[in-house]
Amino acid sequence: MEENRVVLCGANAYEKKYYFNEAFKSLPESIKEELHIIAVLFTEEVGGVFTIVFEPDGSVSLETDAAEEDILYDEISSGLLIGEIKRKRQELFESLSLYYKVFILKENAAELLKDQDVKE
């Protein structure tokens, strides 16, 4: 993994486990529950390992991987499902990115919001 990337949460279909990074425990419960549902449903549908990661610039990445011997894992389906999640939950991921930039990277919230208004 690339340096300075931070895992927010993930699910593992092989171990039937969900992980949430306690460094982000200040997130609202509703957001934590939504992340949990996204990650677990992904691994239930596609299999493998699914993670939501903060990149060094504060953007959010969705990643999936599978064990080499997992013949049931479908890379095409996993890619399509990630695309669907990104589209349907775009606002959630934009909000998480803003949260990370303000509270973790200590960027100026007013500037970030002004830049966001310009993009819209």
User: What's the pLDDT at 52?
Assistant: 98
Share of the chain above pLDDT 90, in %: 82
Q: Which amino acid is at 49?
A: V
Ordered by start, the domain boundaries in the chain are: 6-119
Which of 52, 54, 42, 53 has its CA nearest to residue 80?
Answer: 42
Q: Which amino acid is at 118?
A: V
Question: Of all helices (H) and strands (E), which one includes residue 17?
Answer: strand 17-20
104 DSSP assignment: I
User: What's the pLDDT at 113?
Assistant: 80
The contacts of residue 116 (CB under 8 Å, 6+ apart) are 94, 98
The contacts of residue 34 (CB under 8 Å, 6+ apart) are 89, 92
pTM for this predicted structure: 0.90
CA dihedral defined by 97, 103, 108, 111, rounded to 10 degrees?
30
Task: Please give the mean pLDDT across all residues of the chain.
Answer: 92
pLDDT above 50 (res 103):
yes
**SS3 category, 60:** strand
- φ, ψ dihedrals at 100, nearest 5°: -60, -45
Which of 36, 9, 7, 31 has its CA nearest to residue 20?
Answer: 9
Tens of pLDDT along 51-82? 999 999 999 999 999 999 999 898 999 999 99
User: What's the pLDDT at 17?
Assistant: 97
Stretch 92-109: mean pLDDT, rounded?
94
